[in-house]
Copies of this chain bind each other. A is one copy, B any other.
Amino acid sequence: MTTTSSAVLVEPRLIDLWDFSIPEIGPDAALLKVEATGICGSDWGPYNGTWMTELPPLVLGHEVVGRVVEIGADAMHRWGVAEGDRVVVEESIPCGTCRLCRTGRYHMCDPLHTRDGLRYGLTPASLGPHIWGGFGEHLYVHPRSIVHRMADSVPVEQAPLFIPISNGIRWVERDAGTRIGDTVVIFGPGQHGLGCVLGARLAGAGTVIVVGTRRDKARFEVAKALGADHVIDVADGPAAQQVAELTNGELADVVIEVTSGSATVLADAVDSAAVGATVVVAGSRGMAPAIGFSPDTLFLKELTLKGVYGHDFLSVRRAIELIESGREPLEKLCTHTFPLHRADEALRTLGGETDAPDAIHITVLPDR
């Protein structure tokens, strides 16, 4: 075998299967046979042409699990893995030497610092060795990659959940500082919001409340299965008011805002927060302002608004251990799988353009 097939985003909303030469693997790199790649909300912008439009053609996909099929001697030593091992790869390819990398914040290492701008799922296919994304049979593992082992016992479609679960752990526990007995309110029951439900329950939250809309009925059920105590539909009135009722007016110690595209949700999130609470901002408004929100609220209630962007090393480790433990009903999150040649359909399912209203975690399995 000298070539490998990848689903290339040729231009916005156009995906085609291309063949690439399998690259030579140097002493400090590796080649992965991809087993599964999860689809993340952040794949939608490039696919749809509303974000990073200058990048295509490129291979999307950065929630990757696979087998090491070739690895250099230095890389074996550095990563502690060998041919045949199953691994997951973080999406960052950080420089390793800047202040952010040296102080445990490598996930914020600016691709500009690295001068090569590499990042899995967002690197143009024109740049050799081309196979920089998970939606393909193989992935090139760059020497600067961050590689973790994943046990063979994990069902293939659950393995990519290390991303939403590590985010949930980091955002809810480390960033928000959730403590035993806290009331945690999570706006948005998508895969990341559900990762936050897990994070909240693991952090010992006393009450976990998930906020969604009419179309989230199936997601609400999964939230409950993962440990949510209450679900709130904003069609029934402002979440803040419902949270007040559920908490005898005490409101939330921690609020996680992880919705997409809503300009009004932040105001509702802030209103749901108790004096001294932390509101984590992980959701996006497409750079629009937050309607109905005045920063004066922040000092009147001494609130902390904390922007978060992805996971760190330890939260990924902990997420992998959790997945490997088999303790959680993670199969409920894995609603859809697609073979490689249907990657386009997989992405449109994420975007709600197919008839799959209850989709949560969608995975592309190149082998099927």
> Does residue A362 face the partner (Cβ distance < 8 Å to B)?
no
Minimum distance in angstroms from A113 CB to a CB of chain B: 10
The answer to whether A296 touches B286, judged by C-beta atoms less than 8 angstroms apart, is yes
Q: Given A97-B79, A295-B307, A299-B309: A321 and B181 within 8 A (CB)? A: yes
Measured between C-beta atoms, what is the minimum distance from A358 to chain B in Å?
A: 27
Q: How far is the CA of A345 from the CA of B244 in the complex (A)?
A: 44
Q: Scoring A residues 296 to 318 as 1 if CB is less than 8 Å from chain B, else 0, what string do you get?
A: 11111111111111001110011
Contact B206 A180, beta carbon cutoff 8 Å: no
- Tell me the bound Cα distance from A290 to B266 in angstroms: 13
A106 on the B face (CB < 8 A): yes
B313, A308: Cβ atoms under 8 Å?
A: no
| B-contacting 9-mer, from A6-14, A133-141, A274-282 | A274-282
- Contact across chains for B314 and A99 when beta carbons are under 8 A apart: yes
Determine whether the beta carbon of B322 is less than 8 Å from that of A181.
yes
Give the CA-CA distance A101 to B58 in the complex, in Å: 32
Contact at A295–B266, with CB atoms within 8 Å?
yes
Is the CB–CB distance between B309 and A302 below 8 Å?
Answer: yes
User: Which residue on chain B has the smallest CB distance to residue A98?
Assistant: B80
Q: Does A115 contact B (CB under 8 A)?
A: yes
Pick from A19-27, A124-132, A197-205 the stretch touching chain B: A197-205
* A115 to B180 alpha-carbon distance, docked (Å): 30
Beta-carbon nearest neighbor of A96 in chain B: B96
Contact of A287 among B100, B199, B202, B296 (CB under 8 A): B296
Which residue in chain B gives the minimum CB-CB distance to A77? B115
Contact indicator B97/A106 (Cβ below 8 Å): no
Q: Which residues of B contact A108 (CB under 8 A)?
A: 275-276, 302
Within the complex, which residue of B202, B203, B297, B305 is in contact with A298, where a contact is CB–CB below 8 Å? B305
Most B CB within 10 A of own CB, among A276, A287, A302:
A302
**CB within 8 Å of B: which residues of A?**
77-79, 95-97, 99-100, 102-106, 108, 110, 115, 146, 169, 173-174, 179-181, 199, 202-204, 206, 266, 275-276, 281-282, 284-309, 312-314, 317-318, 321-322
Contacts A/B (CB < 8 Å), 19 sampled: A102-B106, A102-B314, A104-B104, A108-B275, A108-B302, A174-B179, A179-B314, A181-B314, A181-B322, A202-B204, A281-B298, A284-B299, A285-B296, A288-B294, A298-B306, A300-B307, A302-B308, A303-B307, A305-B307
